[in-house]
Amino acid sequence: MLQNHPEICRHLLWFFGVAACVKLLLIPSYHSTDFEVHRHWLALTRSLPLSQWYSDETSPWTLDYPPFFAYFEYFLSFFARLVDPQIVDVHQGLNYEADTVVYFQRISVIVSDLCLVYGIYRLTRKLEAKKRVAMWILVIWSPALVIVDHMHFQYNGFLLGLLMLSISYLQDGRDVMGGFLFAVLLCFKHLFAVAGPVYFVYLLRHYCRGGLLKGLGRLAAMGTVVVAVFAAAFGPFFYHIQQVISRMFPFGRGLCHAYWAPNFWVFYIILDKGLAFLLKKFGIDIPTPAASFTGGLVGDSSPFAVLPQVTPLSTLIMVLLALSPCLVKIWKNPHPGSVARWISYAYTCGFLFGWHVHEKASLHFVIPLAIVAVQSLEDAQHYFLLSIATCYSLFPLLYEAQEYPIKVVLLLLHSMLMWFGFSAKFSKVKPPTISDNKKTRKKGSSSSSSRSGEEGEFVIGWGGKCYIIGIVIVETWGQLLHPYFLGDKLPFAPLLLISIYCGVEVVYSWVWQLKRIMAD
Amino acid sequence: MDRNNRGKVGKDNVELDNNKNGDVCWWLLHKGLASFFLCISMFGLLVRWTVSLHSYSGAGNPPKFGDYEAQRHWMEITVNLPAQDWYINSTKNDLSYWGLDYPPLTAYQSYIHGLFLRFFDPESVTLFTSRGYESYTGKLLMRFTVLSSDLLIFFPSVLYFIHAYYDVHSRGRKADVAWHILLILINPCLVLIDHGHFQYNCISLGLALAAVAAILSQRDLLACVLFCLSLNHKQMSTYFAPAFFSHLLGKCLRRKHPLLEISKLGLVVLGTFAMVWWPYLHSRDAALQVLSRLAPFERGIYEDYVANFWCTSSVLIKWKRLFPTQSLRLFSMVATILACLPSMIQQILAPSSKGFLYGLLNSSLSFYLFSFQVHEKSILLPLLPATLLAMEWPRPFKLLTHYALFSMFPLVCRDNLILPYIALYALCIFLYHPPGGRWDGAKRHHSTPLTLVSVLLTLAYLGSLVLHIVYLTVRPPERYPFLFEALIMLLSFSHFVLFAFHTNTKQWMLSGHLIGSDKGKKQH
């Protein structure tokens, strides 16, 4: 319909603008300790020499992102110092909470979202209007991004923008640029490395082809690009590389984060507890584990009573195992159309089986999956539920009463918008000749003609409806019934319930995505 | 039956339009207007609650605090004292400290909200000790009372109005209806004052809006009840009274038994008032005591810097020094009546629904410009009928919203609400200019003729934008500490006056052909 690029740009900026206004209004809302973390990094990079960035211990919030992110903070700190010098003071600025720092950091997140907007622009500029707008709704107006970035406080919009840009270049067939951007992204936040194998196999098979010699040449070219990026990032830290690496991979942290992400390990822990409980009933003596999960950080001792201990290495192996069918598929048929699907799948695996996964990491697959969601009806239906479940799983991040209406309204509003967007995209499209014939043949029986039309219509099956009703029940239990019946007992039970309930959907989504990839 | 068919035709047209324009927001309307309304209400709720995260009037500013404390204090008084004592100065009720000066319906509303507060946070409404009470929970609960009143009264009224208005003017496109809902629900001034500054305008304006809707759907008695309720929530609703009066009078005069119709309406009005005032009707003194609380004549003719005639002209003529309050009261009354007389006469002669809406706008504007004791926030009243007419003349409407916001800017700065002001301003620019140019898209021409008026308006607009920044950054010269306030007031006032002329002529232009069409209807 509309192939005029400046026009698309204007429309996209309108979407962004409306969202930005709401984000501006959210400035005084609750922010987590991540806010102080990023403030401290501003101060750290501004006031200390490069060599001390990764060794400083003024604050418990040490720098644990790769160097590009540190450079990014360094860049921001220029402006921060202009706004208020106290922001960038390592000692004076500790736990600084003045309006200046809140406004500055919040606005920096809003502005850095422009990277995501550009990524989305590149991805959608050639799509038809309906798909394009549906995707804008899914990404630009994503409630999960608002909750995590603009309330809880992080820079995911910016980082996901890089990922989206990289995917858009891969889809255009510009593999070097795609690989380059992914390498850059890894040097911003190494948690994105889970998709590394997918990139590796895809680039190897898609880019490095055309005979042995040409293939090797291209491999070398791509290798040079990636090495150059990493050199630019880590080069200045050459003499402290040990320190940088140890900061970036703190394996001392436990399997699960203080609040349990809705992934496979929740079920594993529940199974362990259940088994222990049963065995005790049968009179078998089991030593109670020294560490507990609800205590937050877990030390060296095994927290499991019955099931085997989980180590970082075993989680890595599980992630790779889960990824392997997909990798085989890519090896066989590396076509650019499915890149987004594979990358999202990789992040799903990482989320489901990874070590010390944070619930915020669900953004890593929900956002790129939006690219896939607008392509077919089944994808849309799958995405609808997944998006609701993952957004709901972020609710415990905002636990204060003031933000409660905001997160509920955000989720409801976005579900509604998604519903509108998808049903507009997948409205009854039936071959005109058949339906016309039917109409002329028997005008009275409308049921048959409407059924034929429903093939292309966006509907949520009874399973999906039950699941959504279940969310309402889980939320009512946690908010009203649990405090009413149990009082202060078992304070972790509502959170656990949310984790388990959303975990079910994430596991289902993982199986669904795998099936879909294998069927392609 | 007939309406259904018309609706279907309209739907087809919309779909055609969508294909033609390549509009970006077609998907919102795909599921019909009801779900669109739900969606916009959600967005409205989101905006309102996010605004309410910010500061309120008089936050952390003893000893008098601000409107937030006034409302809280009223809850404290109404919850702890019997209804008879609410308006009477006593040892338990010090009227000099935010004494109740709104009509009884506000008192009842405070009572209900006070009960709500007492249930969750008893400390916030205990007698005496809760003065100046400020806490996280207290703020949350207070904000919630405004949000719930908005949701329960203003939102349904908007729905009722849209239903009634587009029943009459059914030629509107579906997309037009949608944008109209958006404009009424997300009115930046109303959101800023109710959910930022802290007031309950949504209740009185919502009731007035419902009354308008009732008039449009020919339920005059219901309209009377609703408008009386609105009057009894905030006496400021009097701004609309001339329009209601003249329109209903005009209508009654054209019926078979005018006297019977008028007395029916009169009885309904008296009945509603009697019900609301019941606790104070047992003696004349009690009723007069309440009445004397409602009329703040002891205060001056204007307060602070409000963009009305008295305040603006006081730059040249020192009204307060030249005349006693007594005669100023008379002046303002005469001026107000003179200003709204033309629109009243038009409605008595040729009552029509569109004319009624214009009448509301004109009478409220004349009250704002000329009446006694006008506050900056009173611009909300003319703004309501203006939003109802927004689809008729989008460009002047945008300008009016701009100057309404602008005239409240000093107030907003005092309340520390600059950030929500900026965000809401930007939001309404985005909403008023949807991509693909929806609601004034058909009329949008990039080459508007360059007339002197449009050049002047543009210059004034740019000037007002600059004044925003100047007001925030530059310190005024010591001789004129209120120089910038005066400039803001002057600029807004001149636009409001222009606006009043414009809308009065528009209303009179209506009457010419409408008299003819109404006669045609009668013959049917």
> Which residue type, as a one-letter code, is found at position B161?
F
Mean pLDDT of A309-333: 89
> For residue range B207-240, what is the model confidence (pLDDT) as tens digits?
999 999 999 999 999 999 999 999 999 999 999 9
ipTM of the complex: 0.89
- Using DSSP's 3-state secondary structure scheme, residue B302 falls into strand
Task: Give the pLDDT confidence of A238-293 residue by residue, as tens digits.
Answer: 888 888 888 888 766 666 665 678 888 888 888 888 888 888 888 777 666 655 55
The pLDDT tens digits of the residues spanning A186-208 come to: 999 988 999 999 999 999 888 88
Q: How far is B337 from chain A (nearest CA, A)?
A: 41
- For residue A47, give every residue at least 6 positions away whose Cβ sits within 8 Å of its Cβ, in sequence order, or none: A88, A89, A90
Distance CA(B41)–CA(B248), nearest Å, equals 32
Q: Do the Cβ atoms of A413 and B46 come within 8 Å?
A: yes
Q: Which residues contact A380 (CB under 8 A, 6 or more apart)?
A: A373, A374, A422, A425, A426, A458
CA-based nearest distance A458→chain B, Å: 12
Tell me whether residues A130 and B27 touch, CB distance under 8 A.
yes
CB of B380 closer than 8 Å to CB of B201: yes
Measure CB to CB from residue A17 to each of B28, B43, B426 and give the nearest one: B426
pLDDT confidence of residue B436 = 65
- Residues A335-364: tens digit of each pLDDT: 888 899 999 999 999 999 988 888 889 999
∠ CA A158-A12-B42, nearest 5°, is 90
Asked whether the predicted pLDDT for residue A65 surpasses 70, the reply is: yes
Is the pLDDT score of B374 beyond 60? yes
> Which of A212, A437, A4 is CA-nearest to residue B24?
A4
Residue B158 predicted with pLDDT over 50: yes
3-state helix, strand, coil in chain B (%, to 5): 75, 0, 25
Q: Which residues of A touch B49 (CB under 8 A)?
A: 405-406, 409
Residues paired with residue B302 on neighbouring β-strands, in sequence order: B374
From chain A, which residues contact B within 8 Å (Cβ)? 1-2, 10-11, 14, 17-18, 20-22, 24-29, 103, 129-130, 133-134, 137, 401-402, 405-406, 409-410, 412-413, 416-417, 419-421, 423-425, 427
Q: What confidence tens digit (pLDDT) does each residue in B434-458 have? A: 776 555 444 444 455 668 888 888 8
The mean pLDDT value for A381-392 works out to 93
Nearest CA in chain B to A416: B39
Which residues, including other chains, have CB under 8 Å from residue A192's CB and lie 6 or more apart? Answer: A159, A163, A182, A185, A186, A364
Residue A450: is its pLDDT beyond 80?
no
Tokens read off for A379: 């994808």
> How much is the pLDDT for A383?
93
pLDDT of A202: 92
Which has the minimum average pLDDT: A301-305, B66-70, B186-190, B423-427? A301-305
Please choose, from the candidates A430, A432, A501, A428, the residue with its C-alpha nearest in 3D space to the C-alpha of residue A459.
A428
Beta bridge partners of A357: A256
pLDDT score of B375: 87
Contact criterion met (CB below 8 Å) for A85 and A47: no
Mean pLDDT score, B126-145: 92
- Closest among B504, B508, B308, B301 to B403, alpha carbons compared: B308
- Average pLDDT rounded to a whole number, residues B23-38: 74
pLDDT band at B7 (very low <50, low <70, confident <90, very high): very low
Nearest CB among A103, A402, A427 relative to B53 is that of A402
Check pLDDT > 50 for residue B291.
yes
pLDDT over 60 at B64, yes or no: yes
A432: Cβ–Cβ under 8 A, 6 or more apart, which residues? none
Binned at pLDDT 50, 70 and 90, residue A405 comes out as: very high
Smallest CA–CA distance, residue A404 to chain B, in Å, is: 10
pLDDT at B16: 35
Tell me: pLDDT of B139 over 60. yes
Determine, for residues A406 and B49 on separate chains, whether the beta-carbon distance falls below 8 Å: yes
Query: Is the model's pLDDT at A312 over the cut of 90?
Result: no
pLDDT of residue B518: 44
Predicted pLDDT of residue A299 = 43
- Reply yes or no on whether the pLDDT at A431 is more than 60: no
pLDDT at site B23: 56
DSSP state at residue A357: B
pLDDT above 60 for A390:
yes
Nearest residue of A to residue B33 by CA position?
A: A420
Residues of A in contact with B423 (CB under 8 A): 21-22, 24-25
If DSSP states are collapsed to H, E and C, what string results for B308-326? CHHHHHCCCCCHHHHCCHH
pLDDT over 50 at B326, yes or no: yes
